[in-house]
Amino acid sequence: MADVKSAFFRFKQLRITPLLESGVTDPSGTAVTSSTPKEMSVAFIYKEGEENEQTAGDGSIFCNITEADVPKGADLELTMTTVEYTIKEAIAGGTVSVSGDDNIGWEMPTEASNPFQLEAWVPRFEVDDSSEGKADGYLLITCPYCKGRVSDGDIGEKTFMMDKFSIKARSNPDSGDAGYSELEVDDLS
């Protein structure tokens, strides 16, 4: 069940760090950074707790058991402002191909993509009496264990192709870190 949704716009930076299936950083991988993410929506996922009533022989309720909903992580929809093949490869797998000086492309993966850590820096704004917001640091969004795929692409304003990704962010099996966190920071790191 997806209960709560958030949306973030005007990113300053996105970093994808490759992981092994176990959740540890892939020693042979290289983090990929982009400064062109457009927006990201977040739907928090919960496993609904069960409710059960125990009745006595006369039909009266003598016990009511209610389990709490358990957070599972978040489902993300990430939209880029342009096509970035290295980001596409880092999130969805596949292979970036280069031929010659100007020809670059991407081939769809033939198997499931590897997990990755996603970090996104979104500007925080301080609102003053004039209702004009001024930048005041960043909100660092961290998803420590993600799996992604290419989603429906979109032709923005019928001029430019934009990549769109569906990402499942869950807790990291190695560190146990929660599937989604936000932290106010002063600078990009």
DSSP states of 18-86 as a string? EB-TTSSB-TT---EEES-EEEEEEEEEEEPPPEEEEE-TTS-EEEEEEPPPEEEEEEEEEEESS--HH
Q: Is the pLDDT of residue 179 over 50?
A: yes
Tell me the per-residue pLDDT of 53-91, one tens digit each, with 9 for 90 and over: 777 777 777 777 787 878 889 999 998 888 888 999 999
Q: Parallel, antiparallel, or unpaired: how do β-strands 133-150 and 181-185 relate?
A: antiparallel
Query: Structure pTM?
Result: 0.80
Tell me the per-residue pLDDT of 115-173, one tens digit each, with 9 for 90 and over: 999 999 988 877 665 556 667 889 899 999 999 998 875 555 555 677 889 999 999 98
Q: Is the pLDDT of residue 25 over 80?
A: yes
